[in-house]
Structure 1
Amino acid sequence: MKNHLLSFGNSTRQSLNSLAMEITHPNRLWLYHLLCWVFFGAASIPVANAACHSITNEHVDLRVTYQSAPSPALSLVIYDDEQEQGFSTNEVFIVGGESARLTLPAGTPFGNAGESIWVLPQTSIPDLPKLGISGEGLPDGLFADNSVHIRLIRVDGPGHFILWQTLGPGQFEIFMDSRNGISAADAKTIGVDAHQHVSWGFTTSGLYRITFQAAGVLAGQSQPVTGPEHTFIFHLLPLRPFENWQATNWPCECNPQLISPGADPDADGQVNAAEYAQGSNPLLADVHLRPQATVIWHDGTPYGALIFHRSKSATDILRLPVAASQFQGDSWETLTQIHHLEDLGEIERITIRDNQPLNQSSKRWYQLRVQSIP
């Protein structure tokens, strides 16, 4: 959600849905206009129905698997030896509790002494997952050098990702590091039927979606066999409020058309940033909490006003109600006069009045802008 701006009635028309409200003096026709209405899709996008599993302290592996038909391809799963089950994208998320946070000593390649890093270590810690790399189960002799590779493709999250192995005191072999960009060099080689323990490092807490791809060259051939990209979810606690909201609604989902701030998975014309700000359900097409323009009376004088709902838990966003006499242009004024505030439990219903009263010739437009706090 970083640097995402949602504007109801955005005159730049850059947001995925734009809602503007026009009101006039109560003695004239009172209008409510929906303008620039753009749906993210023609219909809602179905959410994956697969069971979602959390990994909190188990020993699991990122395992490479192979299929020969209909064409040779490699895949990746999170494999749980104890359950003898592999979990693919949209089926699992991995949780690093607050004990994953470490303070860096001097002399490491992971940051300055005294800085924090969140680590799922290669050694066993009772309350943290132990996540290895595995080529177990791959056919012997099928791949050149009897090995395959796991490539880092993308890191979506609040910080950077580093994969390494500690060889001894002060000795580290880094396989993947997004701090200096991602290239073909960000890869880990694993032998057929081999298993290695590695450390998974994150430069800050938060919700990460990390995408990998497996590749290998079949014996006697020159072109690599690859497969689809696989994205896996990591929670490095504590999560930020919007990350926690995403994790609650889509615990195992990686599709940005469902989970991003600008997505509208229930196709109700309200993107996720708006649903989060007002405390509505992003999976249920429901517009009863949407901002509304109205007319209120203050000291015997009519004013235009904007009614909106505010989620108390959405503490990492700014809400900016504004008004203007013309929809186009830069004459929008910030509204600060709260006329009424109603506590509804987890949300508040706020009526904020215009800075200027209505008269017989008034025409006023209202917007509610929602922006994340960096």
Structure 2
Amino acid sequence: MISTGHVDVVGVELEDGAFHVHVHDEENGVEYEPADVVLAALPGSAYTVPSDTCYSFLGEAGDTVYRLPQTQNPDLLWAGFSAHIDAGVLQNDTFTLSLESVTGPGDVSVYQDGLCAADSRFFDSGDGIDGADATELDAHSHVHANWAFTEPGSYTVSFTVSGTLADGTAVPSVTEDYTFSVAE
């Protein structure tokens, strides 16, 4: 279980024409297969939904959600996603990361703070919009965001990585399941 420190939940590399997706524990310099690790949002990740309507996608103002913050807090997991793919290998030097499904007691939103957090969502399992939970990322990106869970409990979050080589050949997509333990 990883409960504190810098972790790229979805780490993406391209090896021999295939995506390799892993969890990268930046604190210890270790890579894990997603099925081999549990990522924890400790009870200290409790966050009160602000009254600003830009946060209404998280719930009603005053509700408690559990949030792994976008900015580093040494007492919590600092979750992000990254890619280490050489320039020129992928078409437009980008790939797509898609939220496929969430199984658990509540919804999951991954977003960045900004002028309006509702406009800065990468993924939101509770928005009711099928097919909208995909984002294009740079082949050498490193992004941190808020990861919010609406209820305590155990979640399985499935992500798919897809893309196309610079020569137009599709790279076989890879789907991985990630386990989160929230306030348990």
Do both proteins adopt the same fold according to a TM-score greater than 0.5, normalized to the shorter chain? yes
Q: Does 1:225 align with 2:171?
A: yes
Normalized per residue, the structure richer in strand is 2
The residue aligned with 2:28 is 83
Match of 2:2 in 1: 55
Per-residue Cα deviation, 1:185-220 (whole angstroms, up to 9, x for no partner): 202322122211111111111100111111112113
Q: Which has the higher contact order (CA 8 A, sep 6+)?
A: 2
Tell me the residue number matched to 2:76: 128
Q: Secondary structure at the match of 1:99?
A: helix
For residue 127 of structure 1, report the CA deviation from its aligned partner: 1.2
Partner-residue secondary structure (3-state), 1:227: strand
Residue aligning to 1:114: 62
Secondary structure of the structure 2 residue equivalent to 1:185: coil
Amino acid of the residue matched to residue 140 of structure 1? A
Show the counterpart of 1:322. Answer: none
Secondary structure of the corresponding residue to residue 228 of structure 1: strand
Q: Which residue of 2 aligns with 1:175?
A: 122
Query: Which range moved further: 167-176 or 197-206?
Result: 167-176
The corresponding residue for 1:236 is: 182
Q: Percent identity?
A: 28
Q: Is the 8 A contact 2:48 2:65 kept in 1?
A: yes
CA offset digits 1:339-367 (Å, max 9, x no partner): xxxxxxxxxxxxxxxxxxxxxxxxxxxxx
CA separation of 1:186 and 1:226: change in aligned 2, threshold 3 A: farther
Counterpart-to-counterpart distance in 2, 1:121 and 1:106: 18
What is the alpha-carbon distance in structure 1 between the residues aligned to residue 117 and residue 151 of structure 2? 22
- Structure 2 contact 122–134 (Cα < 8 Å) conserved: yes
Q: Which has the larger radius of gyration?
A: 1
Summarize the Cα distance change of 1:184–1:76 in structure 2 as closer, same or farther, 3 Å threshold.
farther
Counterpart Cα distance in 2 of 1:224 and 1:139: 17
Structure 1 residue 191 and structure 2 residue 138: aligned?
yes
Q: Which runs of 5 or more structure 1 residues have no equivalent in the other structure?
A: 1-53, 239-374
Unaligned 5+ runs, structure 2: none
TM-score after normalising by structure 1: 0.46
Counterpart Cα distance in 2 of 1:65 and 1:193: 9
